[in-house]
Structure 1
Amino acid sequence: MSFTYSQLFAASLVSVIVYRLFQRRRRPPLPFPPGPKGLPLIGNLRDLPTQYQWLNYEKLGQEIGSDIVHLKFLGTHLVVLNSEKAANDLLEKRSSIYSDRPQLKALTELLDAGSWVLSLFPYGTKWRTWHKAFYAHLQPSVVHRYHAIETKANQQLLCNLLDTPQEFLKHLRQMVGQTSLSIAYGIDVDPRDDPNIALADEALQGIYVAQNKGRIFNYVPFFIHFPWWFPGAGFKKDAETHKRKLNQCRDEPYKAVKRALEENRATPSIAASMTIDLSEKSTQEETFMARALPSNIYAGSIDTTATAVQSFVLAMVLYPEAQKRAQEEIDSVLGHGHLPGFGDEDALPYLKAVLYELLRWGPPGPLGIPRRLTEDDVYNGYFFPAGCLVISNVWAILHDPATYSEPSKFKPERFLDSTARAQFPEAAFGFGRRKCPGRALAWDVVWLAIARMLAVFEFLPAKDADGRPAPPAQEFTSQFSSGPMPFECIIRPRSSTAREAVLALHLD
């Protein structure tokens, strides 16, 4: 654990006192799911992983021989679902009581993200209202409206990769940022190093810091009332800076949209559309939603979508046979050097299998955001108390060897056999009513990126000092949106024909 003993002692002591004063113990009618034995006072607090939680929860389940793991710490119950069946049975089939969110106070209060970040909303009227408005702009039947925006950002990506391929990680992030900012606000970003993207990245970094250094506030909620110098409460000292960056990321692009509308020069965007729909009868909440909801598109896509495409590059370098087969399919169907478009998706089944396998092999969100159970529940003879936290271990689900043979390997062909047990890795987008509402847009962006990159580029391992291939390690980061650890590779045009196809692009 990253907590110091003084922090643990202070948190445990305060927690036990409050727990005994304000709660009554109750004996569950059935046993809790299996879990590791806890310590006096702090329970399983030291069993909570702070790095690669999805891997450690998977290992913990294997050690106790259960796909459901129960931990209890400082009066809080946590249940981790390591199997698709358990996740579907509870988060899908019983979604009415498994769709709430706990108050992750480091985010919701210290950063004030709970007032406008949709994924953090508790389940209720506000969430339904905002989710309906969000989904209206991103549902599968309407995302074709954004194909021109996605194509423009993709063209810039190809040109950037041709010019400075060594900066591919930055270029991929730029492409996703350009797409989402244009859709949300109509912003025409700079080809490289755009300040809007830089600001958003800096703001999102505050969320990651809160998830790490502010973890204790989520486990011991009343800790938020203690001063920053109290052991364990140090994140409060920096929270105001992170909050200011987040609010700036939310408000500055919207102010630009408002000015453009007033001057009759606004580009079509979700923010512009929502603002135009406001009237004198609009409530304060509706006005705030028009200002804050569009920022969720960027916040919800920049890391997850960008890391997915970065994982694709890693997979192509490590598994050249998959790269070759996908390129052969593109060449045979469309012709060498031809840039695929959205209308070509159904004609390229292996390429679609590559994307399926990408979502399974390196899911951008390997651990679902915790749910909060709103009623007592019983499942497979185990008792789940109301108020307990429930986490879906997406990584463990998509790496289950009973469903996916050799799960650590990148094998797109597993999705070509219609009789195979492996189907579309839906778990990558979540479960139930909290499933990612922007999944159709994310699919389009990633599909176009990998299709066109494969059509014109080849991906090779970097070389060591002796000129020999030095493949990168198959390693991923430990943060919430997990992507490859920084790595080097060679990206170069497949041929002069492919190079000319990129040079012929018109970047208006």
Structure 2
Amino acid sequence: MLSRRRRRPPFPFPPGPKGLPFIRNLLDVPSKYHWLAYENWAREIGSDIIHTELFGTHIIVLNSSKVANDLLEKRSSIYSDRYAQIKDRKWVINLFPYCDKWRNWYKTFHAHFKPTMIHKYHPIEVKAAQHLLRSLFDTPEDFMQHLRRMVGRVSLSVAYGIELSPRNDPNMALADAALAGLGVAQTKGRIFNLVPFFMRLPWWFPGAGFKKDADMWKRKMDLCRDEPYEAVKRALEENKATSSIAASMLAGLPEKPTPEEILMTKALPSNATAALQSFVLAMVLYPEVQRRAQEEIDSVVGHGNLPDFGDEESLPYLKAVLYELLRWSPPAPFGIPHRLIKDDVYEGYFIPAKSLVFPNIWAIFHDPATYPEPSKFKPERFLDTTTPVPLLDVAFGFGRRLCPGRYFARNILWVAMASMLATFEFLPVTDAEGRPVPPLQEFTPLLTSGPMPFKCTIRSRSSRIKETIIATLQG
């Protein structure tokens, strides 16, 4: 029996754990908190670029802003591909391979979410924030659910013109199910996603039962995309459609649209993201930050009033809180892997074609040389112009694979943060003796990470705001 000999690289691979024959680093790479493991290896080995290998698939992790910029920005023409998924989510723009189809989709999506266009979504975002505040007044203990609902409300309204029902909305249930499936897939299916060899195994093979579950998750994700689209299509036919991205794209289709055009219309509005739970956690853990932000808001809009987007430039500390939130708890700490199109050499290290290249955003944002005391939530670091600002782009991608909805997501974050700070105090719960019990600073181990479920006390700062919100929403 002949065995294929491994090709000898012209230069050494970047440093990393040695590994074993055939399986290579299978036992080294953890199943969760990848960003922490690679950050530790980088520190131990003394290299900002780390190499591991799983059954012939090379994984390159970039642990500094310099290396990430050198490769993913300056060499983006060869570092902008994506890798194949176990169940290819062909309608999720961030997971597209780098090709003409992706470029067309990105251009169309960007047309709706570029900086000069996103102001038209401000009324929707403000209204969603008011619904959030009303929910927090009624049932503050369900704040995590209310935050998810606020993001979903904005996304569904902008994308499809859908108004969520007060409770148990089926569109929200579909979205939650799809996101839950995707989260499990990121953990259970990590080897299948990274190693092409495993993708060819039948579902009954030991350890490959995940592939059967993936069919169910894919169906839920497809329903999350297709059902709102069909609702917009019916509304247009009945002249009942409200303004939305899907409605405008459908109205602009030719008389006989191609399958590609229909798929683009279905898919593009579905890509939106935000992370607010880390903000609440930070406010509970750092009450001095909360007080300073509230004092700034009160001084600009007056105690008992809600800030609007027109107040943004007058609230520099709140802007610093937003920057620090993205740095302290990046929503995608390990990024989405890029796929190298052809062989490359960087600082004497060989990086073979088809390598999966991960930007370790967590390591970049927690570099003590750039951000002293990186584990602490210190917005004032971004009031000092000598401190590099973690630009929104870094938190949402690199090079040609920047998330096109990043400005939209940033606005959702800002208006929710400003509204909650103006209205509520976020405090730790207390024990039987009345002593505060701060929540643990623990985050989920998935590639999309947020705080572990925690409890806190949410107390109103102004009864007048509640009356104003109720009157506004009823009106």
Q: TM-score range by the shorter chain?
A: over 0.9
Partner-residue secondary structure (3-state), 1:294 = helix
Equivalent residue, structure 2, for 1:95:
76
CA distance 1:499–1:260, shift in 2 (3 Å)? closer
Q: Of the candidates 321, 325, 339, which is equivalent to residue 292 of structure 2?
A: 325
The one-letter code matched in structure 2 to 1:155 is Q
1:438 equivalent to 2:405? Answer yes
Please state how far the C-alpha of 1:422 moved relative to its aligned partner. 4.4
CA distance, structure 1, for counterparts of residue 393 and residue 369 of structure 2: 17
- Equivalent residue runs for 1:124-273 within 5 Å: 124-273=99-248
Please state how far the C-alpha of 1:423 moved relative to its aligned partner. 5.1
Partner-residue secondary structure (3-state), 2:127 = helix
CA distance, structure 2, for counterparts of residue 506 and residue 282 of structure 1: 39
Please state how far the C-alpha of 1:376 moved relative to its aligned partner. 1.2
CA distance, structure 1, for counterparts of residue 180 and residue 351 of structure 2: 34
CA distance, structure 1, for counterparts of residue 102 and residue 351 of structure 2: 24
Is residue 63–residue 361 contact of structure 2 (8 Å, CA) maintained in 1? yes
Equivalent residue, structure 2, for 1:339:
306
Equivalent residue, structure 2, for 1:369:
336
1:25 equivalent to 2:3? Answer no
Partner-residue secondary structure (3-state), 2:373 = coil
Larger mean Cα displacement after TM superposition, 495-504 or 312-321: 495-504
Equivalent residue, structure 2, for 1:293:
268
- Equivalent residue runs for 1:104-143 within 5 Å: 104=85, 106-108=86-88, 113=89, 115-143=90-118
Is residue 424–residue 461 contact of structure 2 (8 Å, CA) maintained in 1? yes
CA distance 1:52–1:507, shift in 2 (3 Å)? farther
Partner-residue secondary structure (3-state), 1:491 = strand
Larger mean Cα displacement after TM superposition, 407-416 or 462-471: 462-471
Please state how far the C-alpha of 1:135 moved relative to its aligned partner. 0.9
Per-residue CA distance 1:397-438 (angstroms, 9 max, x = gap): 000001001000000000001123445464211111111110
Equivalent residue, structure 2, for 1:52:
33
1:386 equivalent to 2:353? Answer yes
Equivalent residue, structure 1, for 2:444:
477
Please state how far the C-alpha of 1:226 moved relative to its aligned partner. 2.7
Q: Of the candidates 413, 429, 438, which is equivalent to residue 462 of structure 1?
A: 429
CA distance, structure 2, for counterparts of residue 425 and residue 506 of structure 1: 32
CA distance, structure 1, for counterparts of residue 449 and residue 7 of structure 2: 39
The one-letter code matched in structure 1 to 2:216 is T
Partner-residue secondary structure (3-state), 2:255 = coil
Larger mean Cα displacement after TM superposition, 82-91 or 198-207: 198-207
Is residue 376–residue 385 contact of structure 1 (8 Å, CA) maintained in 2? yes
RMSD (CA atoms):
1.6
Is residue 95–residue 432 contact of structure 1 (8 Å, CA) maintained in 2? yes
CA distance, structure 2, for counterparts of residue 401 and residue 507 of structure 1: 49
Please state how far the C-alpha of 1:153 moved relative to its aligned partner. 0.7
Partner-residue secondary structure (3-state), 1:80 = strand
Per-residue CA distance 1:164-212 (angstroms, 9 max, x = gap): 1111111011000000001110001113332211111101222222222
Equivalent residue, structure 1, for 2:473:
506
Please state how far the C-alpha of 1:502 moved relative to its aligned partner. 3.7
Equivalent residue, structure 1, for 2:281:
314
CA distance, structure 1, for counterparts of residue 433 and residue 238 of structure 2: 60
- Equivalent residue runs for 1:68-83 within 5 Å: 68-83=49-64
The one-letter code matched in structure 2 to 1:222 is F
- TM-score, normalization: structure 2? 0.97
Please state how far the C-alpha of 1:498 moved relative to its aligned partner. 4.2
- TM-score, normalization: structure 1? 0.90
Please state how far the C-alpha of 1:379 moved relative to its aligned partner. 1.1
CA distance, structure 1, for counterparts of residue 440 and residue 232 of structure 2: 43
Is residue 359–residue 428 contact of structure 1 (8 Å, CA) maintained in 2? yes
CA distance, structure 2, for counterparts of residue 507 and residue 382 of structure 1: 63
Is residue 336–residue 498 contact of structure 1 (8 Å, CA) maintained in 2? no
Gaps of 5+ in 2: none
- Equivalent residue runs for 1:344-359 within 5 Å: 344-359=311-326
Is residue 174–residue 197 contact of structure 1 (8 Å, CA) maintained in 2? yes
Please state how far the C-alpha of 1:279 moved relative to its aligned partner. 1.4
Q: Of the candidates 338, 363, 376, which is equivalent to residue 396 of structure 1?
A: 363
The one-letter code matched in structure 2 to 1:43 is R
Is residue 87–residue 214 contact of structure 2 (8 Å, CA) maintained in 1? no
Partner-residue secondary structure (3-state), 2:472 = coil
CA distance, structure 1, for counterparts of residue 416 and residue 247 of structure 2: 27
Q: Of the candidates 384, 387, 391, which is equivalent to residue 417 of structure 1?
A: 384
Partner-residue secondary structure (3-state), 1:79 = strand
CA distance, structure 2, for counterparts of residue 419 and residue 243 of structure 1: 46
Equivalent residue, structure 2, for 1:36:
17
CA distance 1:417–1:225, shift in 2 (3 Å)? closer
CA distance, structure 2, for counterparts of residue 458 and residue 92 of structure 1: 41
CA distance, structure 1, for counterparts of residue 166 and residue 149 of structure 2: 8
Gaps of 5+ in 1: 1-16
